[in-house]
Structure 1
Amino acid sequence: MKKTVIFAPLLIMASLMTVPSAAQDNSGDQNQTIKGAEEKSLPALEEAFVEETPVFAAFQKIQSYMNRVNSLQANFTQRSPGGLTSKGKLFMERPGRIRFDYSDETPILVVSDGKILNLVDEEIEQVTKWPVEDTPLRVLLGNSVDLAAYGARVEVEPGGIKNIIALHATDERRPEIGEITIYFRDQQSEGLDLISWVVNDAQGETTVVELFDTETNLKLAGSLWTFEDPRGLAKRRRGVR
């Protein structure tokens, strides 16, 4: 399996999520975009009709995984296109919620409340927002897999690697979102285990996130999907002075 994983601060969302170039700080017309996104749920996912083949059997396993695993936490490693590596703890709860807590000195938090994905940069006191459905992670964070809607295809044993299933997804109508490939380890009777995903952006840059020590179907605290806005902290600090 091809591997490439997380980032320099300015590359984080551009590579990790392959965020559209139209994304910007939460100001002006951006508020209208975010408001509209908050009124919509993640796109419904419906199973495509395919023949009974090993690939279809693999797709059914992916569907079963999505139905079976509602939440998870794991340690992760991420490498950016520039080769920089970062590590931390990942939390995920479908539909739409995800949080990347970085354990190194990266002053970044990435968190989604189910509708909006936030990049919180504490160093420059800035928050950048995108609708979850406008990022490749919408495939991973949905409740099932819609092959037609996401232009998805399943690959069994990619590169000849045994017991690995890959789900490739791209939207030809929205190439700016980028392409995501999600890798599962097939544990046969025990089902699938999510192990990594690879994002290729519209500029051809690649980012890979790999998961370790994964625990599934945990009761995760609601506070994980919130954050303290560093812009408000900055104002309060200036007020104290």
Structure 2
Amino acid sequence: MKMNRLSRLKTLYMAAIVAMLSGGVALSTTQGSYAQTASAQAQTIANHFSAIKTMTGDFIQFSPKGEMTEGTFYLERPGKIRFQYKNSPVRVITDGQSVAINNRKLDTWDLYQLSQTPMKMLLDNRIDLSGGKLLAVNQDPGATTMILADKTLGKGQIRMIFDSKTYELRQWTIVDQQNLETTIQITNVRTGVRFANGMFDIPYQRIAMKRNHR
């Protein structure tokens, strides 16, 4: 059952990438009503996704080296997401300000600014595709793929793949400043959920105290 799910996810991923390479609409260079229609439809899908304020589900992550990990994710707009990895002491928590990578076994915390990563565009209260943020969009019967970038976030990009019929998010890929890609594929998604207090808390004070005692 698990292999069938993974196979379906890989098929969706490869189909979307092939579609983007062969028939994607590069909006920065394409003129006319076709580009305008594609952009408008992309914003409609983005608005549908933005209206979902909380969601949780399972994920499979593919690292830049092709390593696969899985677990459970929790998302709350604006700016919050948590990845709980299966059979791993590592967790990733974003609280709207920082992205924290915590190794509970080693008791280490690495902090990064959310405002400097393309992940911010996924977690914003509203996904705004105006101002040249939407670089390309491809639509086919199975999936709609968007590539977004924001110059204020540096050179990184985010590629999001939605179901063309339901507008549900299926996966996203973060492309960092070194052009390395990390892909997250999601399944068994539930929306409109309530999370326990502290789900997205980062213990800044304890992190600071630990660093001061090094």
Deviation at 1:174, TM superposition (A): 4.5
CA deviations on 1:115-158 (whole Å, 9 max, x unpaired) are 2221112233221112222111111101112224572245132x
Comparing both chains, which one has the higher relative contact order based on Cα–Cα distances under 8 Å and sequence gaps of 6 or more? 1
Query: Which sections of structure 2, spanning at least 5 residues, go unmatched?
Result: 1-11, 15-31
Residues of 2 paired with 1:70 and 1:130: CA distance? 23
- After superposition, the Cα gap between the structure-2 partners of 1:174 and 1:117, relative to the gap in structure 1 and judged at 3 Å, is closer
- Tell me what 2:192 maps to: 217
From 107, 112, 115, the counterpart of 1:130: 112
- After superposition, the Cα gap between the structure-2 partners of 1:201 and 1:114, relative to the gap in structure 1 and judged at 3 Å, is closer
- Tell me what 1:152 maps to: 134
For 1:44-193, what aligned pairs fall within 5 Å after superposition? Answer: 53-67=37-51, 69-105=52-88, 107-148=89-130, 151-157=133-139, 161-172=140-151, 174-176=153-155, 178-187=156-165, 191-193=166-168
Contact 1:59 / 1:154 at 8 angstroms: preserved in 2?
A: no
Q: Percent identity?
A: 22
Matched pairs, number: 180
Give 2:186's aligned amino acid: L
CA RMSD of aligned residues (A): 2.8
Partner of 2:42: helix, strand, or coil? helix
Query: Which sections of structure 1, spanning at least 5 residues, go unmatched?
Result: 4-49, 236-241
So what's the TM-score if we normalise by structure 2?
A: 0.73
- After superposition, the Cα gap between the structure-2 partners of 1:119 and 1:151, relative to the gap in structure 1 and judged at 3 Å, is same
Residues of 2 paired with 1:58 and 1:180: CA distance? 14
More strand by share: 2
Moved over 4 A (4+): none
Partner of 2:168: helix, strand, or coil? strand
